[in-house]
Amino acid sequence: MNDLHLVMHGLAIKKHGSAEDVAGVMGLEVETVRETLTKLVAAKRAVEAQGRYLLSPAARMLLDADYGRFYEDLRASPAFQAGYAGFERLNNTLKQLITDWQTIPVRGERTPNDHSDEDYDANIIDRLGDLHERAEEVLNKLASALPRMAIYREKLQRALEKAEQGAIAWVSDAKIESYHTVWFELHEDLLRLMRRERSE
Amino acid sequence: MTVAFGQWTLGLDGADLPARELIGGKAWSVARMQALGLDAPPAFVVTTEACRAFLASGDTPPALEAEIDKGVAWLEARTGRAFGRGPRPLLVSVRSGAPVSMPGMMDTVLNLGVNDETEAALAAECGDVAFARNTHKRFLDLYAHIVLRAEAPAFDDGKTPAQWRAAIAQQCGAAPPTAPREQLRAAVRAVFESWNSRRAKRYRQHHGIADDLGTAVTVQAMVFGNLDENSGTGVLFSRNPTTGAREPYGEYLARAQGEDVVSGKFTPLPLSALGERAPLALEALLQAAHKLEQAGRDVQDIEFTVERGKLYLLQSRAAKLSPHAAAPIAVALAREGLIDAREAVLRVTPEQARLVLSPHIREEALQSASLLASGEGASPGVGIGLVVGDSDEAERRARLGEAVILARPTTSPEDLHGMIAARAVVTETGGATSHAAAVGRALGLPCVVGCGKGALAALAGRTVTVDGRTGKIYDGALAIEAPDEREHQAFAQLVQWAAQMSPLRVIPPSAPEAAQAVDLTTNEDAADPEKIAAVLAALKGAKGARGGAVASEEGVRAAIRAGLAFIVADPVLPPLLAAARGATKA
């Protein structure tokens, strides 16, 4: 895979991302990403505002065509297929878990979790740890076919450990690389590689 | 005295309350219920001392297996059932129970003791073949996941349990044993081993918990709510958790097992249904609820099962309350003398008060409103603005000061910047667990999901009012209003109690003194909860402040640290509760 493609792919996942964001999620050197982004901007394939980048509509079409071309082998790989199927299974568990984290059921009606009940929160972080152990297996399968997938394992692990240590924003805060943020970026990454549509 | 089966194992009979360090949290709560004279299903416990011996030697103590045999025999005698044999088979649950709860410990294995023979006996006893099969399947699934710690294969309902066991063996590397006693031995060992799981170790290290405390194992008889017409299962709240009214509220399912209530597949009946079939059980339940509420000094959420007319309490814990119920219940418990005023103030979070006092659509406006679309309310609150179908456009317009509502078929990580800019988010497909719902709640944004394919495209360019609680989207900007905290009895009382605890005063804008406050409304940094502390610290000689994020929890903390005498807020209760909490923690 060439750097140009990876930078564009990274920018599709980290929309409005900085060079550091794209480098972090794609496992590239920041300098390489910066140079590539400069080229993309010069070729009008991306626009820059305050150090953050956005793909142009034409670049998005080119990128979509790339997925068809570059990942045929990957899509046919049994390890990657097994990993992807495993991810989709866990995805439902994760979504329910995040819902349970954000809301507390009171007689069937869900009310926002204000995180005043430490036991309730601890139980969900425990479930998240359990899910993470299963996610590691899935990510190992994915990484055996596409090594950069290991980055997600590390990012998820980092978010989990912070949450376990009491920094609970790392479960689902949308503005940081919380477990939920990273998980959905991974999902977006996989959907693009597999050329699937998001169902919800 | 609790029955001892030797050095490592105790039978819980309610005669006394063994130390939590010895029997772990789960068994302790069973023993506590028994000590109150209430019936929990019979249980015995393998103590933390046995676990410590296991950890020291790397193997279960030699005498332990014989003691567990005695424990099983004791359960058989108390239940009139036989472990692993018909005609009335005894099944058990196995749980870990550390003195302090921690992540990474083994979860509960239910229905242990089931195999082909006991499945058939169970089917005959309750006259329900499908239930017996499901009981078996659930055990195999839990055993694979929890004891073998592996991803269980998806079960095909057309297969036999023998085929399931083979599938597990193939995928997980070992098959669940068929001999009940072997199942139990392996489960007890798995509990001990879970003490040293990576997660449990990490947690103990971080929280300074000794590595040699060890965990207990609780083995409890399963009771069945589906044996006959006089059996069933349900949930009881000692008070209404939605309204806060002082009346028990419950749901009951006749001829059903615990999971049926939770699954939502069946419609539960009101408690009166239990009264018609098993009046004595209902009376015992209501008495138990009162006792548990008095002992726990809080509203109880009780799970129970009735087996052939006899009541068993499975679990009791402090109930989760709706934001609307929290304040009336806290004040009522204080007036009844179960808790003091200080505790009542601490039971209501600033967030709960803020939610109840947040603006809602006026009743009159709602009556003449025209409904444009509706879906599932996924995150509460009211948002009014112009509907925009694209995240980039939402961000652009919001930057120019327009109020926008983001409407998308679904959302993906690409839409985050548009969601942050919006006053509310609505989607066409997806449920309460979808990406839009999760991010909407994380951002505290009103959010409605699942309005239906194509339901939103036509709304672009219109001004709408979104109600994230009810899931409705109305045409136009509807009139909204916020409840008045002074007209709310429980809130007025909490304002008074919290004021006595708070190190600073919170006054409404109408108070004469409010005019003396430094107004931060136009200070951009003051609007950011992360920067408010620096803004307040820089105020020299000010007595009070208003505007910006000063009424947020961060703002209140910063105001106390900056030595302010008062802040101005409307409503006053949420910041006042935050101040009272801050004072008790300092």
Q: Are B252 and B269 in contact (CB under 8 A)?
A: yes
* Closest-CA distance of chain A to residue B514, Å: 30
Q: Is B582 an interface residue toward A (CB < 8 Å)?
A: no
Q: Is B73 an interface residue toward A (CB < 8 Å)?
A: no
DSSP state of A17: B
pLDDT at site B299 = 96
* Closest-CA distance of chain A to residue B519, Å: 29
- Interchain pair B429, A200: CB under 8 A: yes
The interface residues of chain B toward chain A in range 318-377, judged by CB-CB distance below 8 A, are 319-323, 325, 349, 351-352, 355
* Closest-CA distance of chain B to residue A23, Å: 17
- Interchain pair A95, B351: CB under 8 A: no
From the list B380, B419, B439, the residue facing A112 with the nearest CB is B380
From the list B325, B414, B430, the residue facing A200 with the nearest CB is B430
- Interchain pair B242, A119: CB under 8 A: no
B360-481: CATH superfamily: Phosphohistidine domain (3.50.30.10)
Q: What are phi and psi of B45, to 5 degrees?
A: -135, 135
From the list B322, B430, B435, the residue facing A111 with the nearest CB is B322
* Closest-CA distance of chain A to residue B274, Å: 18
Most A-contacting residue of B435, B448, B552, B553 (CB-CB within 10 A), to test interface: B435
Among candidates B483, B525, B345, which has minimal Cα distance to B545?
A: B525
Please list every residue in chain B whose beta carbon sits closer than 8 Å to the beta carbon of residue A49: none
- Interchain pair A103, B419: CB under 8 A: no
Question: What is the architecture of the domain spanning B3-221?
Answer: 2-Layer Sandwich (3.30)
Find the closest chain A residue to B450 by CA distance: A200
Tokens representing residue B31 in the block: 């023993």
Per-residue pLDDT tens, chain B, 586 aa: give them.
579 999 999 999 888 889 999 999 889 989 999 999 999 999 999 999 999 999 999 898 989 999 999 999 999 999 999 998 989 999 999 999 988 878 888 888 999 999 999 999 999 998 889 889 989 998 998 999 889 887 777 777 888 999 999 989 988 888 999 999 999 999 999 999 999 988 888 888 888 889 989 999 999 999 999 888 899 999 999 999 988 999 999 889 988 877 666 555 667 788 899 999 999 999 999 999 999 999 999 999 999 999 999 999 998 988 988 889 999 999 999 999 999 999 999 999 999 999 999 999 999 999 999 999 999 999 999 999 999 999 999 999 999 999 999 999 999 888 888 999 999 999 999 888 888 998 998 888 999 999 999 999 899 999 999 999 999 999 999 999 999 999 999 999 999 999 999 999 999 999 999 999 999 988 888 888 888 888 888 888 889 999 988 999 899 999 999 999 999 999 999 999 999 998 776 5
Please list every residue in chain B whose beta carbon sits closer than 8 Å to the beta carbon of residue A22: none
Q: What span, in angstroms and rounded, lies between the C-alpha atoms of B242 and B249?
A: 10
Longest dimension (CA), chain B: 83
Which CATH fold would you assign to the domain B232-318?
Answer: D-amino Acid Aminotransferase; Chain A, domain 1 (3.30.470)
B152-191 as b/e: b if 16+ CB within 10 A:
bbebeeeeebeebbebbeeebeebbbbebeebbbbbbbbb
Q: Is B242 an interface residue toward A (CB < 8 Å)?
A: yes
**CATH top class, domain A3-70:** mainly alpha
pLDDT at site B407 = 97
Among candidates B352, B370, B355, B379, which has minimal Cα distance to B468?
A: B379
Find the closest chain A residue to B320 by CA distance: A106
Please list every residue in chain A whose beta carbon sits closer than 8 Å to the beta carbon of residue B104: 126, 129-130
- Interchain pair B429, A122: CB under 8 A: no
Tokens representing residue B530 in the block: 């992360």
* Closest-CA distance of chain A to residue B155, Å: 14
Q: Which residues of chain A have pLDDT under 50?
A: none
- The per-residue pLDDT for range B435-482, each reduced to its tens digit, is 899 899 888 899 999 999 999 989 999 999 999 999 999 999 999 999
- Interchain pair B241, A188: CB under 8 A: no
Question: Which regions of B266-415 does DSSP assign to beta strands (E)?
Answer: 269-270, 300-307, 310-318, 360-361, 371-374, 376-379, 382-388, 404-408
Please list every residue in chain A whose beta carbon sits closer than 8 Å to the beta carbon of residue B417: 15-16
Q: What span, in angstroms and rounded, lies between the C-alpha atoms of B479 and B364?
A: 9
- Interchain pair A164, B203: CB under 8 A: yes
pLDDT at site B156 = 77
Please list every residue in chain A whose beta carbon sits closer than 8 Å to the beta carbon of residue B438: 95, 98-99, 102, 172, 180
* Closest-CA distance of chain B to residue A106, Å: 6
The interface residues of chain B toward chain A in range 419-438, judged by CB-CB distance below 8 A, are 419-420, 427, 429-435, 437-438
- Interchain pair B412, A188: CB under 8 A: yes
The owner of tokens 């073998």 is: B148
Please list every residue in chain B whose beta carbon sits closer than 8 Å to the beta carbon of residue A54: 392
Tokens representing residue B433 in the block: 């667990």
pLDDT at site B437 = 92
Q: Is B438 helix (H, G, I), strand (E, B) or coil?
A: helix
Q: What span, in angstroms and rounded, lies between the C-alpha atoms of B555 and B432?
A: 32
CA dist list (Å): B464 to A44, B373, B383, B467, B476: 37, 10, 8, 10, 5
Q: Are B102 and B195 in contact (CB under 8 A)?
A: no
> First and final CA of chain B: distance in angstroms?
43
Number of residue pairs across A and B with CB atoms under 8 Å? 121
Q: Is the peptide bond between B87 and the residue preceding it cis, with omega within 30 degrees of 0?
A: yes
What residue spans define the domains of chain B? 3-221, 232-318, 360-481, 485-585
Among candidates B240, B230, B227, which has minimal Cα distance to B282?
A: B230
Please list every residue in chain B whose beta carbon sits closer than 8 Å to the beta carbon of residue A111: 320, 322-323, 355, 380
The interface residues of chain B toward chain A in range 189-218, judged by CB-CB distance below 8 A, are 199, 202-203, 206
* Closest-CA distance of chain B to residue A176, Å: 11
Among candidates B482, B535, B472, B544, which has minimal Cα distance to B512?
A: B544
- The per-residue pLDDT for range B240-286, each reduced to its tens digit, is 998 899 999 988 998 887 766 655 566 778 889 999 999 999 999 99
Q: Are A10 and A25 in contact (CB under 8 A)?
A: yes
What residue spans define the domains of chain A? 3-70, 73-194
Most A-contacting residue of B142, B320, B351, B427 (CB-CB within 10 A), to test interface: B320
From the list A114, A133, A172, the residue facing B351 with the nearest CB is A114
